[in-house]
Chains A and B, each alone.
Chain A
Amino acid sequence: MSKQVKQLDRVIIRFAGDSGDGMQLTGDRFTQESAVFGNDLVTLPNFPAEIRAPQGTLPGVSSFQVHFADHDILTAGDAPDVLVAMNPAALKANLGDLPKGAAIIVDTHDFTGRNLTKAGYDANPLDGLGDAGSPLGEFSVHPVDLTGMTVEAVKEFGLSRKDAARAKNMFALGLLSWMYGRPIESTISFLQKRFAKVADIRDANITAFKAGWNFGETTETFVVQYEIKPAPMSAGTYRNITGNLALSYGLVAAGVQSGLPVFLGSYPITPASDILHELSKHKAFGVTTLQAEDEIAGVGAAIGASFAGSLGVTTTSGPGIALKSEAIGLAVMTELPLLVIDVQRGGPSTGLPTKTEQADLLQAMFGRNGEAPVPIVAPQSPGDCFDAAIEAARIAITYRTPVMLLSDGYLANGSEPWRIPEIDDLPVIDPKFATERNQTVTAKDGSDVEEYWPYLRDEETLARPWAIPGTPGLEHRIGGLEKGDGHGNISYDPANHDLMVRTRQAKVDRIAESLPPLVVDDPSGEAKVLVIGWGSTYGPIGAGCRRVRKAGYQVAQVHLRHLNPFPKDLGEILKRYDKVLCPEMNLGQLSLLLRGKYLVDAIGYNQVNGMPIKAASLAEAIGGLVAEAEGITVDLTSSPIAEEASK
């Protein structure tokens, strides 16, 4: 049977099922296939905090959205074009996000009385499809007994019915892989490795996967196959990578590039634990990982390791930062290199462990007693977590200071194609350990003696020397009590304290001298509205700006990687624009800092629903501001917009 092939420039698919249905794996495999195929892509996993929320219920639904395209895209997409729903709850939970005309592939197997009730359906929504009153009338629905066909396909392996049915996610993946012309070899070899030890499960999964593919190919249920050409990308070797993996690799790279052993002290917490898991595999790089008894011990051990000459790192999420605050203050006072990684999640308190948020910026900035400035770096995309980790290490080591790296749940678990960098292109970080005494003093008998002063400063960076135990002649004591300028002995002198407080601040401010100028994306150079953001909102903000431009209006975008200190040219850039819009997944934390520092009327666009900002609604807000700034009417729908059209 010959099938029709239709060209598309981009598709958003959402796989949804019960949290035990393997939707994350399914989405991940589809993503890998798409990456290998050469599409640009962005993913958005979304899962409940419970490992096994009650089966078949709305809270138990887990989903994975993947947006892939033949051009450069920035977000996981606002609304799915295709929903794969493995049970009634998955259908119900996701229906509200679908635009008119979206395709729904639904596994009919679980649409039985009990499961329908569990999901809160009074009647089976699949009944009377095509009738005028059907609740799914606006969509193109493909009811398929995925489970039944899977069980049938794998029956030769003699699995229990339950085990056989578990391969249904691979059947669905096979079907979708056929529909979108995905290469299937990588999934087959993945399944071979993953289930290498259980031959029947391995074979059942591979068989189900192939059966799904063949089902699409040979039956008449699906008549159209879609083609999404590879996206043009700059030359290089690519892989698909999540933020947590890129961040872990960045930490390993920081160790190699500085020649320092990496020491991670950490306590498990979602969504940061995967960094601990990943780093624990890289002992061959001299990486030590300590799963501590709590967050305080994690950072304490990292500080100890830094004192001993390692690159101390601690990874956590917001609640853990709260516990670590006092120790971070100690690292500020002792001026030791330390990386503090906060993979932000919804707060306050335990909040929304598996959802994303950017509400720890002010905690990172001010969450300590006393004047305790800490540099802050934030990655803007999953792949960028690699570079951001190295940059944070550069600052920590060069300036002898704790550095906060603010990732978030969306970056941590989301993925994108990442161009693998050449090692030669990575920065080299010189720890410049102190080896010599650095100060001549006059002894009581009038003779000159050489001493080691731990708080003498480098003129350029204001960094203090880092002398590690084992270095003869440089024995010294540091601690949390105020240090005398230069010699570093305890000092309660009022003038000295004032000087030291200002000096620690000046040292952090000095980092701005080492930062490159900001890149303002203002294609026409005539925009009156500037959109400024930080962290993972980079994608949605970029996509929102593209929509506005595509509709024929001007808007500029700038994105901050360094939040403390701000880059030197930021003030001047902000002044160039009539209106400044600051979209954030919090109630206005960056805008508060911008207002405080630059007296600029930064206008907030704030969303704290645990999900990334949607480009379409943000574009409306930008459009509104453009209208105000330019005194024109802005109608983003008036011109044909292709979402995410290239710049």
Chain B
Amino acid sequence: MTTTSTSSTENLPFPGLRSGVELVPTNDQPQTSKEYTSDQEVRWCPGCGDYAVLKAVQGFLPELGLRRENIVFVSGIGCSSRFPYYLDTYGMHSIHGRAPSIATGIATAREDLSVWVVTGDGDALSIGGNHLIHALRRNVNMTILLFNNRIYGLTKGQYSPTSEAGKITKSTPMGSLDHPFNPVSLALGAEGSFVARTIDSDRKHLTSVLSAAAAHRGTSIVEIYQNCPIFNDGAFDAIKNNDTKADAIIPLVHGEPIRFGVGGGKGLVRDSETGGVKIVEVGAEPGQVGEDQVLVHDAHNPDPTMAFAISRLTDSGYLNQSPIGIFRQVERPTYDDGARAQIASSREAAPGTPSERLANLIGGGDTWTVV
């Protein structure tokens, strides 16, 4: 086996935390995105947001500096879940909703692998909701990319658990009656230790969030707003359109005041009435709030209350406004490290070869000998 290095820890956006890839063998040779591209023809619809994410990931993986054979992508079922076929790493395209459980097995069995899950809004939040929340709760060392196009793409356009209420689709001709999930709120409620949101079309932001997610030890979940031009086109137009995005995107940067709008005219402050946060005009004019009042984003706050409050600013209907960035990144023991530590300490305490120990085990208890 190759040696491991902590170089990726040093490059962390938040130095000092344990790295998600610190036990994964590194590669000292420069790598290219081409090496990470498989020979399979990519078969998403033209204009699908999945392409942009694939390109970003193929471009970003070489930067991780890991050995390609130590990277595993696991997906469920959906358009987005075809992802692993297009990456020349180890991969498994599994069954609908179950990728987090399969990844839990992989990550727990092997400390030397960088484990990724690719899932859709239906895959992760409908059929696989149970596995998702339990992966987050256990904090298994893996990175979950949740492609949220707010629709079921592969099955041709039914509403999903993130679709806005009232959505007219093939299965809801009079409008859907379900209230949607907010994936970030859900992940925070499920004890997520790294929770972020980014956008398919913003490669720079996407890449920076992915780097931080990969470097996080524990379960990282990244909700990626992804456009499905065929069945839900324009779902994210407000946050992508140059004319509207300044007011629509609430950027979250650790350590920085949360300000947005043209010229940073808007900001977040605490709302003493609701206990949550609210959007205000920032400035010295009457009716405006002073700069010093604006919340400074603290992704490392052990208490998730503020992160949750911020996540509630996401529109549940048509998306005109949404916080984007890393909501929360805290260190918490991971399930897989704990499981391996229990095994390691038990092993140390048990002398003898496995065969000798097996003989002792099965030969234990009340025995008698017949001659």
Q: Which residues of A contact B (CB under 8 A)?
A: 32, 35-38, 186, 233-241, 249, 252-253, 256, 261, 263, 265, 282-288, 290, 292-294, 296-298, 300-310, 312, 326-327, 329-330, 334, 386, 420-423, 469-481, 489-490
**Contact, CB under 8 Å: B95 / A326:** yes
B68 at the A interface (CB under 8 A): yes
B108 at the A interface (CB under 8 A): yes
Q: Which residues of B contact A (CB under 8 A)?
A: 1, 25, 38, 40, 67-72, 74, 77, 84-85, 87-95, 98, 100-110, 112-113, 130-131, 134, 339, 342-343, 346-347, 349-350, 354-355, 357-359, 361-371
**Contact, CB under 8 Å: B363 / A420:** yes
Assuming the contacts A35-B368, A307-B92, A423-B359, asked whether A265 and B70 have C-beta atoms less than 8 A apart, the reply is: no
**Contact, CB under 8 Å: A237 / B85:** no
**Contact, CB under 8 Å: A305 / B108:** yes
**Contact, CB under 8 Å: B105 / A302:** yes
Residues of the A chain whose Cβ atoms lie less than 8 Å from the Cβ of B371: 235
Residues of the A chain whose Cβ atoms lie less than 8 Å from the Cβ of B88: 475
Assuming the contacts A249-B361, A300-B101, asked whether A283 and B342 have C-beta atoms less than 8 A apart, the reply is: yes
**Contact, CB under 8 Å: B357 / A300:** no
Pick 19 A–B contacts, CB within 8 A, sort by A: A237-B370, A238-B368, A239-B367, A240-B366, A252-B361, A256-B358, A263-B108, A283-B342, A285-B357, A290-B108, A304-B74, A304-B101, A308-B110, A423-B355, A469-B113, A471-B69, A473-B69, A479-B91, A480-B95
Residues of the A chain whose Cβ atoms lie less than 8 Å from the Cβ of B67: 472
Assuming the contacts A237-B368, A304-B101, asked whether A469 and B130 have C-beta atoms less than 8 A apart, the reply is: no
**Contact, CB under 8 Å: B131 / A293:** yes
A250 nearest CB across to chain B (Å): 9
Assuming the contacts A283-B346, A288-B339, A297-B134, asked whether A480 and B94 have C-beta atoms less than 8 A apart, the reply is: yes
Q: In the bound complex, what is the Cα–Cα distance between A386 and B358 (angstroms)?
A: 13
**Contact, CB under 8 Å: B90 / A469:** yes
Residues of the A chain whose Cβ atoms lie less than 8 Å from the Cβ of B98: 296-297, 300, 327
Q: Interface centre among B70, B71, B105, by most A CB within 10 Å?
A: B105
B205 nearest CB across to chain A (Å): 28
Residues of the B chain whose Cβ atoms lie less than 8 Å from the Cβ of A288: 108-109, 339, 343
Q: Interface centre among A38, A239, A284, A472, by most B CB within 10 Å?
A: A284
Q: In the bound complex, what is the Cα–Cα distance between A481 and B350 (angstroms)?
A: 44
Residues of the A chain whose Cβ atoms lie less than 8 Å from the Cβ of B93: 477-481
**Contact, CB under 8 Å: A330 / B90:** no
**Contact, CB under 8 Å: B367 / A238:** yes
Residue among A283, A305, A422, A477 making CB contact with B106, cutoff 8 Å:
A305
Q: In the bound complex, what is the Cα–Cα distance between A241 and B113 (angstroms)?
A: 39
Residues of the A chain whose Cβ atoms lie less than 8 Å from the Cβ of B365: 239-241
**Contact, CB under 8 Å: A470 / B110:** yes
B174 nearest CB across to chain A (Å): 32
Residues of the B chain whose Cβ atoms lie less than 8 Å from the Cβ of A420: 362-363, 367
Assuming the contacts A300-B105, A301-B101, A304-B105, asked whether A479 and B92 have C-beta atoms less than 8 A apart, the reply is: yes
Residues of the B chain whose Cβ atoms lie less than 8 Å from the Cβ of A472: 67-69
**Contact, CB under 8 Å: B95 / A301:** no
Residues of the A chain whose Cβ atoms lie less than 8 Å from the Cβ of B364: 239
Please, which residue of chain B has its CB at the minimum distance from the CB of A241? Answer: B365
Residue among A237, A285, A310, A330 making CB contact with B367, cutoff 8 Å:
A237
Assuming the contacts A300-B102, A301-B101, asked whether A290 and B370 have C-beta atoms less than 8 A apart, the reply is: no
Q: In the bound complex, what is the Cα–Cα distance between A307 and B270 (angstroms)?
A: 48
Q: In the bound complex, what is the Cα–Cα distance between A249 and B41 (angstroms)?
A: 47
Please, which residue of chain B has its CB at the minimum distance from the CB of A426? Answer: B358
Residues of the B chain whose Cβ atoms lie less than 8 Å from the Cβ of A282: 361
Residues of the B chain whose Cβ atoms lie less than 8 Å from the Cβ of A238: 367-370
**Contact, CB under 8 Å: A301 / B94:** no
Assuming the contacts A233-B370, A304-B106, A308-B110, asked whether A334 and B358 have C-beta atoms less than 8 A apart, the reply is: no
Q: In the bound complex, what is the Cα–Cα distance between A261 and B346 (angstroms)?
A: 14
**Contact, CB under 8 Å: A479 / B69:** no
Residues of the B chain whose Cβ atoms lie less than 8 Å from the Cβ of A302: 105
**Contact, CB under 8 Å: B130 / A293:** yes
Residues of the A chain whose Cβ atoms lie less than 8 Å from the Cβ of B105: 263, 265, 290, 300-308, 310, 312
Q: In the bound complex, what is the Cα–Cα distance between A253 and B358 (angstroms)?
A: 7
Residue among B69, B134, B361, B369 making CB contact with A237, cutoff 8 Å:
B369
Q: In the bound complex, what is the Cα–Cα distance between A610 and B108 (angstroms)?
A: 39
> Other than the known A284-B350, A312-B105, what 8 A-B pairs have Cβ atoms closer than 8 Å?
A234-B370, A239-B367, A293-B131, A469-B70, A469-B72, A475-B88, A476-B91, A478-B93
Residue among A37, A261, A285 making CB contact with B358, cutoff 8 Å:
A285
Residues of the A chain whose Cβ atoms lie less than 8 Å from the Cβ of B38: 477
Residues of the B chain whose Cβ atoms lie less than 8 Å from the Cβ of A422: 359
A436 nearest CB across to chain B (Å): 13
**Contact, CB under 8 Å: B369 / A236:** yes
**Contact, CB under 8 Å: B40 / A489:** yes
Q: In the bound complex, what is the Cα–Cα distance between A591 and B280 (angstroms)?
A: 76
Residue among B70, B94, B367 making CB contact with A479, cutoff 8 Å:
B94
Residue among B87, B107, B346 making CB contact with A284, cutoff 8 Å:
B346
Please, which residue of chain A has its CB at the minimum distance from the CB of B86? Answer: A477
Residues of the B chain whose Cβ atoms lie less than 8 Å from the Cβ of A237: 363, 367-370
A12 nearest CB across to chain B (Å): 22
Assuming the contacts A249-B361, A284-B350, asked whether A301 and B108 have C-beta atoms less than 8 A apart, the reply is: yes
Q: In the bound complex, what is the Cα–Cα distance between A261 and B343 (angstroms)?
A: 11
B69 nearest CB across to chain A (Å): 5
**Contact, CB under 8 Å: A303 / B102:** yes
Residues of the B chain whose Cβ atoms lie less than 8 Å from the Cβ of A470: 1, 25, 69-70, 110, 112-113
Please, which residue of chain B has its CB at the minimum distance from the CB of A287? Answer: B343
Q: In the bound complex, what is the Cα–Cα distance between A240 and B103 (angstroms)?
A: 39
In the A-B complex, the 9 residue pairs with the smallest Cβ-Cβ separation, listed nearest first, are A304-B105, A479-B93, A300-B101, A301-B105, A284-B350, A283-B346, A297-B101, A304-B102, A305-B105
Residues of the A chain whose Cβ atoms lie less than 8 Å from the Cβ of B113: 308, 469-470
Q: In the bound complex, what is the Cα–Cα distance between A253 and B359 (angstroms)?
A: 9
Assuming the contacts A238-B370, A303-B102, A308-B110, asked whether A297 and B130 have C-beta atoms less than 8 A apart, the reply is: yes
Q: In the bound complex, what is the Cα–Cα distance between A305 and B343 (angstroms)?
A: 15
Residue among A252, A286, A296, A329 making CB contact with B101, cutoff 8 Å:
A296
Residues of the B chain whose Cβ atoms lie less than 8 Å from the Cβ of A490: 40, 85
Q: In the bound complex, what is the Cα–Cα distance between A479 and B96 (angstroms)?
A: 11
A365 nearest CB across to chain B (Å): 21
**Contact, CB under 8 Å: A36 / B368:** yes
Residues of the A chain whose Cβ atoms lie less than 8 Å from the Cβ of B362: 249, 253, 386, 420-421
Q: Interface centre among B69, B87, B107, B130, by most A CB within 10 Å?
A: B69
Residues of the B chain whose Cβ atoms lie less than 8 Å from the Cβ of A481: 93
Q: In the bound complex, what is the Cα–Cα distance between A344 and B112 (angstroms)?
A: 37
A419 nearest CB across to chain B (Å): 8
Please, which residue of chain A has its CB at the minimum distance from the CB of B342? Answer: A283
**Contact, CB under 8 Å: A235 / B370:** yes
**Contact, CB under 8 Å: B358 / A290:** no
**Contact, CB under 8 Å: B92 / A478:** yes
Residues of the B chain whose Cβ atoms lie less than 8 Å from the Cβ of A474: 69
Residues of the B chain whose Cβ atoms lie less than 8 Å from the Cβ of A287: 343
Q: In the bound complex, what is the Cα–Cα distance between A146 and B36 (angstroms)?
A: 76
Assuming the contacts A286-B343, A307-B106, A309-B109, asked whether A38 and B370 have C-beta atoms less than 8 A apart, the reply is: yes
Q: In the bound complex, what is the Cα–Cα distance between A277 and B106 (angstroms)?
A: 22
Q: In the bound complex, what is the Cα–Cα distance between A480 and B100 (angstroms)?
A: 16
Residues of the B chain whose Cβ atoms lie less than 8 Å from the Cβ of A469: 69-72, 90, 106, 110, 113
